[in-house]
Structure 1
């Protein structure tokens, strides 16, 4: 068997054997890097981050972050249990931390370690805005997006090595590698990332509604995000995130559906 054929077989074997199911979509996703390895690494990185940054404790804002995070985690567990995924969160170690930093950002690491920067709170504006952000970030963790991005990066590297070996063209190797890097980033990794953001928006708005927060606030949050950016964003096809207008329209369409989903869990009124 030729070397390039062997490489194709190896890549296909990796894709077939290293798959996980996204409980929210039912789709098979890449899991070349297993959670058993990913979670401990994420927890260690989280601890290191906290040791190097100023954690805010005992304030109204810090208490709100913790309160919203707990409600979103409970909503996630309720949804998962109701849909046949009992025990899905057993290895998660939820923690909700506010860090003093002017950056407009928040994130959730694989396994449930969540950080909000103080810089995003004015844009969140209210508790429902925080819930929209929290739901989105938690959704990334629940849907294993970090695992998928790492797995996608592994495949990107394997593809580069495999094609370099298969081409055996030393003269044009550098040009090929540049073209492959750009092509795989724009044609594979960036659309991959944008699909994760769209998926997290959808999962997140359902979680915030089940947690009792008004899902209409998700679109309002992104209107404020857009205003804060001053419209300065790269074209959507060159970005890791969908365009703000795309997200706003999607969230506005999803909000009534999220309210209907929340009713299944006895939630009929929503807090802002």
Structure 2
């Protein structure tokens, strides 16, 4: 049985090894086409069950920012993006495989200008391009599989229940949550670069997270959260700001000066 565990683990690693857009190693077990189908289906369902914002001015503003960011993607990645504004007072946005992005009306109260909104949309585009949904599902599947295999090995032993309980806690706080935080950090960096290339001042991303921190309500400790703290995100953005400002300057020289209102 131990040999079987080793063989399955090796098979998972060797057949699903990938590299993210920022050079981070990834585990991707799901076919991208299947992930896209699931994302499109889920997004379609959401549009029928959640109120969609109808105000023309709001939609035009969000589309203006989104289109400017999408325009700086490689040509083969610019197709089939859909951005929908949902009537929801929570300060949130999300991304799904299949190039689907949802923006809650509540986030527009926190992201008070086009640059801050560009940081959000660039961040969500980063999630999609880096296949974070696929990676999350793959990690969850691999974690469950390893626990099942270990359970089979330990079955009938006195230590079995204790080991399985510890494995569950370890998978949650040692694997699933840190990977989620790494996804958020990676999406922050990708969004920072994208917004700067599109001609949005990247310093607006820092202002955004100061605003988010001011609107946070009892956020859990970072080690127990799927998201980095606002201060951690601000430090990460500031650490990459020189590169972003260089991209922003180059975009300005190319005439990229969005005016979304």
TM-based fold match above 0.5: yes
Match of 1:125, SS? coil
Once residues 254 and 55 of structure 2 are traced to their aligned partners in structure 1, the CA distance between those partners, rounded to angstroms, is 30
- Tell me how far 1:119 sits from its aligned partner: 1.0
Q: Which residue of 1 aligns with 2:52?
A: 55
Task: Please state if 1:214 is matched with 2:201.
Answer: yes
Q: CA deviation at 1:269?
A: 7.1
Q: Is the 8 A contact 1:209 1:270 kept in 2?
A: no
CA contact (8 A) 1:4 1:165 kept: no
Q: What's the counterpart of residue 10 of structure 1?
A: 8
User: Aligned to 1:93, which of 63, 80, 87?
Assistant: 80
**Which whole-Å deviations, capped at 9, do the CAs of 1:2-58 have from their partners, x for residues lacking one?**
x12112211211121123332x22344211011111101110010000000111134
| 1:226 corresponds to 2:213 | yes
Partner of 1:143: 130
SS of corresponding position for 1:187: helix
Secondary structure, counterpart of 2:215 in structure 1: helix
> What SS class does the counterpart of residue 229 from structure 1 fall into?
coil
Question: Are residues 268 and 249 of structure 1, via their aligned partners in 2, closer, same or farther at CA, if it must alter by over 3 Å?
Answer: farther
Answering whether residue 211 of structure 2 is matched by residue 236 of structure 1, we say: no
Match of 1:245 in 2: 231
- Alpha-carbon shift at residue 267 of structure 1 (Å): 4.7
8 A Cα contact 1:128 1:271, kept in partner: no
TM-score w.r.t. the length of structure 1 is 0.88
How is 1:96-135 mapped onto 2 (pairs within 5 angstroms)? 96-135=83-122
Distance 2:24 2:213 in 1: 31
Q: Is the 8 A contact 2:84 2:101 kept in 1?
A: yes
TM score, norm. by length of structure 2: 0.92
Deviations 1:219-253 (A, max 9, x none): 100000000014x2222111111111111122123
Match of 1:200 in 2: 187
- Counterparts of 1:27 and 1:175, CA distance in 2: 33
What is the deviation of 1:161?
A: 0.6
Question: Secondary structure of 1:98's partner?
Answer: strand
Match of 2:90, SS state, is: coil
**Cα deviation, residue 170, structure 1:** 5.3
Query: Could you give the per-residue CA deviations for residues 104-129 of structure 1, whole angstroms, max 9, x where no partner exists?
Result: 11011112111111111110011111
Query: What is the alpha-carbon distance in structure 2 between the residues aligned to residue 214 and residue 149 of structure 1?
Result: 31
Could you tell me whether the CA contact under 8 Å between 1:214 and 1:270 is conserved in 2?
A: no
Provide structure 1 residue ranges, at least 5 long, that are not aligned to the other structure.
82-86
Q: In 2, distance between residues paired with 1:132 and 1:172?
A: 49
Relative to structure 2, which stretch is displaced further, 67-76 or 259-268? Answer: 259-268
How many residue pairs end up in the alignment? 258
Structure 1: how far apart are the matches of 2:109 and 2:121? 15
The more displaced of 130-139 and 233-242 is 233-242
Q: Secondary structure at the match of 2:18?
A: strand
The answer on 1:46 being equivalent to 2:43 is yes
1:271 Cα deviation after fit: 5.6
